[in-house]
Amino acid sequence: MFSYRHAFHAGNHADVLKHTVLIATLDHLLEKEAALTVIDTHAGAGLYRLDGDYAGTSGEAAEGILRLLSDKKAAAPTAQPAPAAKSATKKAAPEAEAPLADAIARYLSVIHDFNPKGGARIYPGSPFIVQHLLRDHDKLKLFELHPTDARTLDANIAQLEAGRQIAVLREDGFGSATKFLPPPSRRALVLMDPSYEIKSDYGRVLDFAAEALKRFATGTYAVWYPIIPRPEAHDLPRRLKTLATKAGKSWLHATLTVKSSKLITTTTGETQRPGLPASGMFLINPPYTLKPLLAAALPQLVERLAQDKHAAFSLDSGG
C-alpha cells in the first residue's frame, strides 16, 4: 500500500479534471464569510516538480497540464459565461474559435500563480491549491500515511508558515478524518482521492462517505476515482449516487476520457495497457454553480487533451 507515489502522475489529465472541479467548488464555497474547513484524506506530498525525476519518468504531465498550457488558445484566456448543462454523455465538437471556459481559465490562473515566469515547472497538489485559495480564518486538515510523502508534505507545508491554519496528520484519512466533522463553523469540503492501488479503497470511500454524511449531512463531499477495466471502478459512482439519493442529497458526476482503455500491441509484439484512460469526479452536495461551469469546460478539455478518437466526457446530476 506504500508503493504509490503521486509525483509520477502529477499534472496528468486526471489532475486537470480533479483540480478544475476542486477550484470551481472552492470558489463558490468561499463566497460566504463563515469559516470553511477543508479535509484532504490523501494529501500526497502537496507540491511537485514537473522537471524532476518522478514526473520526467512518467511524462504524464505532457498529456495534461503541459499540453493545456502549450495550446495557443490557452495563452491568454478570456472566460465567458457557461451555457446551461445537459445530462448526457457525448463527444465534444471542435471549438477552435471558442474562448476558454471560465473553469479552465480559473484553473490555469492558479497554476500560473505557482509559476509566475510561465509554464508549469511547479505543479501544486490539492493541499497547496486549497491553501492558496483559503482565507486566514479557514482551516485545512491534511492526512497522509506514505512515509516519504508525509515527510515531504511536512516540509512543504512548513515553508508556508501558516501556523494553526493547517494540520498535517500522519494518519489514515479514512479512519480518522471524520473526527473533524462537523466543524465548528458547520461548513466543510472533504476531498477523497486515494490511489485505488488496492481494491479495498473503493469500499472504504463508500464507507467513509456514508459515515461522514451521518455526522455532517450538509458538508460537500468530493470523490476522485480512476475509470479503469475493474468492476469496482465502474460500481463506485453508481453506489455513491445511491448513497446520496437515499440520504436525500444532491449529487453531480463528471467524467473525462482522453483515450481508449483497450490493450495495445507494441512494435515488439508485447501487449500493454495504455495507461489511465479516464477519471471521474463525484460530488455530494455540490455547489449549484458547478454544473454549468463544467458543461462549458468539459468539451474543451476533451478537445485539448484527446489522445485518440475515443475521447469524451459525461456530466450528470440529481437530487
Catalytic residues: 193
Return d(Cα 210, Cα 229) in angstroms, integer. 25
Q: 210: alpha, beta or left, given left = phi > 0 and alpha = psi -120 to 50?
A: alpha
Q: Is the CB of residue 153 less than 8 Å from the CB of residue 147?
A: no
**Strand, coil or helix: what is 157?**
helix
**Strand, coil or helix: what is 89?**
strand
The residue among 35, 41, 14 whose CA lies nearest residue 222 is 41
Q: Which residues contact 262 (CB under 8 A, 6 or more apart)?
A: 274
| Pure H helices in 173-215 | 173-176, 200-215
Q: Is the CB of residue 73 less than 8 Å from the CB of residue 100?
A: yes
Q: 289: alpha, beta or left, given left = phi > 0 and alpha = psi -120 to 50?
A: alpha
